[in-house]
Structure 1
Amino acid sequence: MFIFIRLIVCIVFFLCSAAVIKRLKKANKRKLYIILTAISIILYVLLSFFTFENLFFTFDSPESAYRYFIPGKADIELVVDGENCDLIVDHKGDSDTLLILPKTEHGWKIGTGSDIITVTQKLFDGISVNVYKNKNSNDHFITVLDTNEEKSKISDSYNTEFHSIENLSKNHITYYAYLIDFNTEYYLKINGKLVTFN
C-alpha cells in the first residue's frame, strides 16, 4: 500500500500538470512533457523517503504497519519488542529483512529502511554482531549472526533474552534482542568470548 499511495500521488500530479500543459499556447510542449515526466519520477523517489501517513494513521500492531509498508506477502518470523520501537524480522527468499517501527501510546507507525542507523558492527570467528537503532529513537537492537553451524551461548551485561532464528539452507543462526541501554559499559559474551563496544 505504501508504494501504491505514492504511485497514485505521482500519477495525479502528472495528469493534472499534463492538463495544464495541454492548455498552454506554447509551441514546444514536448520539452515540457519531458520535464514533467522527470519531475514526476523525482517526486516518487522523494515521497518514498517520507512517511506522511504517520500524520494520519496509527496501526493496531507492528505486523499491520509492516504489511502496509512492504508490498507482497510478508513472512514475519519475529517481532522484538522495544520501549519506543519494535524490530520486525521478515524472511524474504534466502535472507532476512529488518525494519524498525516506531510506536506510540496508541499504536505503531511506519518506519523505513532509511530510518535505520547501524550504530556499530563487529566481525570475528565467523560471527557478525550489529547494533541498530531508529534515527528518531534511542531504542537499540542487536543481531548476532553465527555461521559456525552450532547454537551459540550468548549473554550480555543486562541478562538480555536473545531470540534465535535458524536458517537451515545457509547453516547459520541469527540471534536478535532489544537492548535496554547501549553505552560504552555494554558487553556481550559469545561462547565465552568477551565482546566490548568502547
Structure 2
Amino acid sequence: MFEIQPMNAETYRQQTRRSTLVIALIFLALAMVLSTMAVALFGTPGGDNLRFNIGGVFAAVLVMAALMRKVFWTQAWMAPAVYSWQLKRSLMSVTNVMHHVTAAVEAGDPSAMKLLRFYHLGLSQMHQLDGNSSDHGQLRREMEQHEARMQALGINPDQNRLDPAWLEAVKQART
C-alpha cells in the first residue's frame, strides 16, 4: 500500500538532481572501464573494436540495472527518487483504470471516490515536486469539487494511501 508523504519540493529537486548525477557518473565510469577491458581482452590493436566498445556499454547498462535494484534502491540518498518513482507508478495504476473510476464515481461508488481522491492528491504532489504548475489550476478545481462531494456523502477526504483493493473493486464493478 503506497502512502503519500509530505515532502519539501525544493529539497526533493535538490536531492533528486544529486542522485541523478551520482548515477550518471557511476554509469559513465562503468561504461568506460568495461569498454576498455573488452577492447583490451578481445580487441585487436589498430582494428575495428566498435562492437567491443558497444558490448562494454551494454554490460555497464546491465551492471547498473543490478546495482540500482540491489544496492542503490535502499540507500538514503536515493529515497526521494524512489519515492517519486513509487508515486508515479501508483498514479499510473489509477490512470490505467480511470475510465472505470470516473464511471464508478458518477455512480457514487465509495471505493472509486476514495481512489479518485488519492489520485488527485498524488497528482497534486507530483506537480508540486516537479515544479509543474501548468495544469494545477484545473486540477485544484476538480479536487475541490470532488472533495465537496465526498464530504456531502460522509466519506473522509483524507485519502493519502492507495489501497489495491480499491483498484480491484473498481475493475470488478465494471466487468
Common topology (TM > 0.5): no
Judging by fraction of residues, say which structure has more helix.
2
The higher-RCO structure (CA 8 Å, 6+ apart) is 2
TM range, smaller chain? 0.3 to 0.5
TM superposition score normalised by structure 2: 0.42
Judging by fraction of residues, say which structure has more strand.
1
